[in-house]
């Protein structure tokens, strides 16, 4: 295995390494070294007979085989020479290490620099104040317990778990919320999601922008028609009448596909989230899904961006309070909650965006 992939002159070059591991060799080695230093389980040891045990490369490779190809644990023993129980243990410990080490940096809330860049990118695409697009994805759960299948079966005839995510144009996933049973729709998931927790508690970065001569202080996400009419969500128009509204509907639907693209790339890189989940407990499934999102963002950072001119340093940490202390009183919390769900602001924002696209981006879409 070492000669095949990690030697100075490997049997399989960088192209084949990228094809098999879904990332460049340098990034893989970085992840492997961090995992080994974080969890002693991945350190190669000698047994009581003084025989060397499995290497970190073997254990990490078997975890990648299950994550990137979606194969069962007992399908990796011929090449990696690891038994089924050890493969499953390696997978569980690997995803825990990824989440513990990298979550704070690669699955964080947008800080002030992130927010400024995302808003500039949204303005370039005709939507000033936009931070990305939001949608939900269902992950089939093959081994859902029989007594829970009624709860986890929704619009499809199989048990599923819902993943809510927010993605930007460069496919970076800024938010994910996982674990709701598949019987819930996008509205139910949104009501239980912590997406707007920072905004409600006064911890989100300050936002100020102007559309059509009107000032706004809350950013928003693009969403499909099932989502509620909130001030922080902008939906398309189901039956647009007139050229301006038709143009807005087309522009919104094009820009909103960013999150659909992110889901597609995530599933192509990590087949385990494309096929039916085989593990039994939802906690481990949540860690697997979270680790896949984190490594997806690491690959986005490592391999560049959609627009090479828009270079940006993604290194950062979770957002800290930017307006002094966070919301302290119940009255302030309720007021922020009402402003987020204000329907009047939602419709006014949509009208201003319709006019803005007509005036400033007539040939963008």
- What residue segments make up the domains of the chain, in order of their start? 2-106, 112-360
Instruction: Give one DSSP letter per residue of 28-85, joined into a string.
Output: HHHHHHHHHHH-GGGS--B-TTS-B---HHHHHHHHHHHHHH---GGGSHHHH---HH
Closest CA to 248 of 215, 227, 222: 222
Arithmetic mean of pLDDT, 278-292? 93
Q: Flag whether pLDDT at 36 surpasses 90.
A: yes
The model's confidence at residue 314, banded by pLDDT at 50, 70 and 90, is low
* In the predicted structure, residue 15 carries a pLDDT above the cut 70: yes
Whether 309 has a pLDDT exceeding 50, the answer reads no
Question: How long a stretch of residues is the chain?
Answer: 365
pLDDT digits (tens, 9 = 90+) for 225-274: 999 999 999 999 988 888 999 999 999 999 999 999 999 999 999 999 99
Query: What is the Cα–Cα distance from 90 to 96, expressed in whole angstroms?
Result: 10
Give me the mean pLDDT over the 70-80 stretch.
Answer: 87
- What pLDDT score was predicted for residue 308? 44
Question: Closest by alpha carbon to 190, among 156, 235, 148?
Answer: 235
- On the question of pLDDT at 321 being above 60, the answer is no
What pLDDT does 316 receive? 57
Q: Which helix (H) or strand (E) holds 93?
A: helix 84-106
Q: What is the mean pLDDT of the chain?
A: 89
Comparing 129 with 202, the larger pLDDT belongs to: 129
The total of other beta-carbon atoms located within 10 Å of residue 191's CB is 9
Q: How far apart are CA 220 and CA 130, in angstroms?
A: 5
User: For position 313, what pLDDT does the model report?
Assistant: 57
Model-level pTM? 0.91
Decide if pLDDT at 157 tops 90.
Answer: no
Check residue 57 and give its pLDDT.
95
> What are the pLDDT digits (tens) for 87-131?
999 999 999 999 999 999 999 899 899 999 999 999 998 999 999
Fill in the DSSP letter of residue 129: T
**Local confidence band at 326 (pLDDT 50, 70, 90 cut-offs):** low
Is the pLDDT score of 4 beyond 80?
A: yes
Mean pLDDT of the 196-209 span:
88
pLDDT at 332 over 90: no
Kindly report which listed range (188-197, 219-228, 330-339) carries the lowest average pLDDT score. Answer: 330-339
Strand 220-223 to strand 130-140: parallel, antiparallel, or no bridges (unpaired)? parallel
């Amino acid at each position: 295995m070492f000669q095949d992939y990690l030697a100075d002159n490997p049997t399989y070059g960088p192209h084949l390494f990228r094809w098999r591991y879904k990332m460049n060799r340098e990034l893989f080695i970085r992840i492997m070294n961090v995992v080994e230093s974080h969890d002693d389980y991945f350190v190669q040891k000698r047994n009581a007979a003084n025989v060397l045990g499995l290497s970190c490369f073997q254990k990490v490779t078997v975890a990648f085989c299950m994550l990137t190809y979606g194969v069962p644990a007992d399908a990796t023993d011929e090449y990696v020479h690891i038994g089924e129980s050890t493969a499953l243990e390696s997978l569980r410990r690997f995803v825990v290490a990824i989440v513990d080490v990298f979550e704070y940096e690669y699955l964080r809330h947008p800080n002030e620099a992130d927010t400024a860049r995302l808003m500039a990118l949204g303005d370039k695409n005709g939507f000033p104040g936009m931070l990305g697009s939001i949608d939900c994805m269902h992950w089939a759960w093959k081994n859902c317990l029989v007594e829970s299948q009624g709860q986890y079966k929704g619009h499809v005839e199989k048990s599923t778990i819902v993943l809510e995510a927010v993605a930007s144009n460069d496919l970076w996933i800024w938010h994910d919320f996982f674990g709701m049973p598949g019987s819930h729709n996008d509205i139910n998931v949104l009501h239980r999601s912590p997406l707007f927790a920072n905004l409600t508690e006064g911890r989100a970065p300050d936002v100020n922008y102007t559309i059509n001569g009107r000032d706004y202080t809350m950013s928003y996400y693009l969403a499909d028609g099932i989502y509620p009419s909130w001030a922080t969500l902008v939906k398309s128009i189901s039956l647009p009448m007139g050229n301006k509204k038709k143009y807005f509907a087309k522009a919104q639907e094009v820009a909103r596909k960013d999150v659909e693209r992110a889901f597609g790339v995530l599933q192509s890189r990590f087949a385990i989230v494309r096929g039916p989940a085989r593990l039994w407990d939802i906690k481990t499934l949540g860690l697997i899904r979270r680790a896949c999102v984190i490594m997806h963002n690491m690959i986005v950072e490592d391999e560049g961006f959609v627009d090479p001119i828009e270079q940006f340093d993604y290194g950062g940490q979770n957002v800290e309070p930017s307006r002094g202390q966070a919301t302290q009183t119940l009255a302030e919390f309720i007021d922020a909650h009402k402003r987020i769900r204000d329907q009047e602001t939602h419709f006014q924002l949509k009208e201003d965006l319709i006019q803005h696209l007509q005036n400033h981006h007539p040939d963008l879409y």
